[in-house]
Amino acid sequence: MNDMQEQDRMILDSVHRFCEAEIDPQVHELEARDEYPAAIVEKMKEMGLFGCIISEEYGGLGLSTEVYSRIIERISRSWMSVSGIINSHLIMAAAVQRAGTDAQKAEFLPRFATGELRGGIGLTEPDAGTDLQAIRTTARRDGDDYVVNGTKTWITNSKYGNCIALLVKTDPKAEPRHRGMSLLLAEKGPGFNVARKLEKLGYRGIDTCELEFKDYRVPADRLIGGAEGRGLQQILSGLELGRINVAARGVGVAQAALDEATAYSQTRKTFGKPICEHQAIQLQLGEMATRTEAARLLTLSAARAYDRGERCDMEAGMAKYAATEAALENAIAAMRIHGGYGYSKEYNVERLYRDAPLLTIGEGTNELQRIIIAKQQIERNPA
Ligand SMILES: Cc1cc2nc3c(=O)[nH]c(=O)nc-3n(C[C@H](O)[C@H](O)[C@H](O)COP(=O)(O)OP(=O)(O)OC[C@H]3O[C@@H](n4cnc5c(N)ncnc54)[C@H](O)[C@@H]3O)c2cc1C
């Protein structure tokens, strides 16, 4: 934390206190009931977290990606679902900040920053996830509007949020396919229907839904950047930020599992001594601590590269891959260290075990990350 500003430290301190006071006492109940944490969201609005990486010029906190990733790590250590409420919202905001027209920035960024307008990204469809160029949702120009038809699925923040950065085909016949793809800022209105909330293994409390668009009209000036055919690129460059965010979530979950295992292993006794004195448990704790710290360093390294404005798909991919696998491995290890209690709904490790696998899927699966890393490895090291 050496090169962080005093103001950054104060923000991180206040996030830490917020997690202890507002999230920790409630997470068990809210998660069990799959209840949206509305009061926590209101508090996050007051703290300015919905605008944490939106520039101050537009009413945000203007924080660096490094500080942002530390905030996400801390929140995820308490409850991963809460971090998801700002993650895809900020990917949408970042797309406008980076690629939007001046008018779009002036109109949308201040509303995103306060959380008045909240939401996420609508990319995935029933038949297209990793292969985004296969999406079928269309946006046909009709006078001053686009008319949108199609289905999106797994869209987080879409029930309680009110705006989505929507990936569409403005030219379904274009070759290469990405030239026909565009990104629209879609505020809820007639024809924008939340078809159903999806039931999930973990990541509960946060709303993830299927959306249907039936002749839904979006004013043409909501086309991000004002030119068609750039949508895939606009969203893919935002995914680097998303991947750093998911990596930070992984560090938070890995740390939470380590915290739980460290504490439990000192109180649970077998054969006359705390289990942390058995070498088999020590080996696991040693691996868990090392994985967590390695994941944190990769994540901070990717965040700093992003802050310097460097291309960092390889770094973000490595951080995402390593940190999310660390979360999954630590969650299983923490459960094993808890013995039978790890399988009980009364202990936090059970939730971590259900939450962690999502991280290996969202913002590009870990299979895809390894492919991205390998391609960059070859490109950067020609024979
Ligand atoms: C809880 C949750 C929240 C989500 N939130 C959002 C959201 O807010 N917005 C949004 O747009 N999406 C969201 N998603 C969707 C998520 O991004 C996709 O599930 C993910 O991108 C994978 O797509 P898919 O499920 O269609 O899997 P597929 O693309 O069908 O992949 C299936 C398997 O094949 C592998 N695979 C695919 N292509 C290749 C390849 N070329 N080489 C090797 N292996 C390959 C994958 O790694 C995976 O193992 C969410 C998903 C979940 C579960």
- pLDDT per position as a tens digit, 103-136: 999 999 999 999 999 999 999 999 999 999 999 9
145-156 vs 208-219, strand pairing mode: antiparallel
- Ligand 1 atom with the smallest distance to the CA of 167 is 11
Sign, CA dihedral 92-97-103-107, equals: positive
Rounded to whole angstroms, the Cα distance separating 371 from 139 reads 31
Question: Crossing angle for the helix pair 65-78 and 80-99, nearest 10 degrees?
Answer: 160
CB of 129 shorter than 6 A to ligand 1: yes
Is residue 139 within 8 A of residue 184, CB to CB? The reply is yes
88 lines ligand 1 (CB under 6 A): yes
Q: What is the pLDDT of residue 59?
A: 97
At 229, list the tokens.
């055919």
Task: Tally Cβ neighbours within 10 Å of residue 138.
Answer: 17
Closest atom of ligand 1 to 158 CA is: 8
1, pLDDT greater than 70: no
Averaged pLDDT, 73-97 = 96
Cα-to-chain-centroid distance, residue 165: 14
From CA 239, how far away is CA 62, in angstroms rounded? 19
pLDDT recorded at residue 210: 98
Q: What is the distance in A from the centroid of ligand 1 to the CA of 336?
A: 29
Ligand 1 atom showing the smallest separation from residue 365 Cα: 47
Please state the atom number of ligand 1 nearest to the C-alpha of residue 131: 29
Instruction: Verify whether ligand 1 is closer than 6 Å to residue 117 (CB atom).
Output: no
User: Does the C-beta of 154 come closer than 6 Å to ligand 1?
Assistant: yes
Region 305-328 average pLDDT: 95
All residues at 6 or more sequence positions from 160 whose CB lies less than 8 Å from its CB, including other chains: 36, 38, 41, 118, 207
| Residue 3 pLDDT | 58
CB of 151 within 6 A of ligand 1: the answer is: no
* Residue with CA at minimum distance from ligand 1 atom 4: 154
- 122 C-beta closer than 6 A to ligand 1: yes
Encode 52-69: b = buried (16+ Cβ within 10 Å), e = exposed: bbbeeebbbbebbbbbbb
Give Cβ neighbours of residue 112 (< 8 Å, ≥ 6 apart): 50, 51, 54, 60, 89, 92, 93, 96, 118, 163
Between the two ends of the chain, the Cα-to-Cα distance in Å is: 38
pLDDT at 153: 98
Taking the C-alpha atoms of residue 241 and residue 19, their distance in angstroms, rounded to an integer, is: 23
pTM reported for the whole predicted model: 0.95
What mean pLDDT comes out for the span 178-191? 98
- Label residue 92 exposed, middle or buried (CB < 10 Å: 0-12, 13-18, 19+): buried
Provide the percentage of residues in the chain whose pLDDT is more than 70.
Answer: 99
User: Using 50, 70 and 90 to split pLDDT, how confident is the model at 238?
Assistant: confident
Which string of DSSP letters, residue by residue, matches 71-127? Answer: HHHHHHHH-HHHHHHHHHHHHHHHHHHHH--HHHHHHHHHHHHHTSS-EEEE--BTT
Is the CB of 93 within 6 Å of ligand 1? no
- Residue 56: active-site member: no
pLDDT at 239: 79
Write down the residue that tokens 């929140």 correspond to.
75
- Nearest alpha-carbon partner for 248 in 301, 313, 193, 194: 301
C-beta of residue 88 within 8 angstroms of C-beta of residue 60: no
Residue 164 contacts by C-beta under 8 Å, 6 or more apart in sequence? 92, 119, 120, 121, 122, 152, 155, 158, 186, 211
Q: How far is the CA of 357 from the centre of ligand 1 (A)?
A: 12
Asked if pLDDT for residue 237 goes beyond 90, the answer is: no
Query: Active site residue: 35, 66, 363, 367, which one?
Result: 363
The reported pLDDT for the residue numbered 119 is 97
The rounded Å distance from CA 43 to ligand 1 centre is 31
Question: What percentage of residues in the chain have a pLDDT greater than 90?
Answer: 95
Query: Is residue 205 pLDDT above 90, yes or no?
Result: yes
Question: For residue 368, how far is its CA from the centre of ligand 1 (angstroms)?
Answer: 9
HEC states along 21-46? Answer: HHHCCCHHHHHHHCCCCHHHHHHHHH
The residue type found at 215 is: D
**340 is written with which tokens?**
């039978």
Those residues whose C-beta lies under 8 Å from the C-beta of residue 182, and which sit 6 or more positions away, are 139, 167, 168, 169, 170, 223, 224, 228, 229, 230, 231
The CA 311 to ligand 1 mean position distance, Å, reads 23
CA distance 354 to 203: 8
Q: Which atom of ligand 1 is nearest to the CA of 88?
A: 8
Distance of CA 328 to the CA centre of its chain: 16
Domains, the chain, ordered by start: 6-114 (1.10.540.10), 119-229 (2.40.110.10), 233-380 (1.20.140.10)
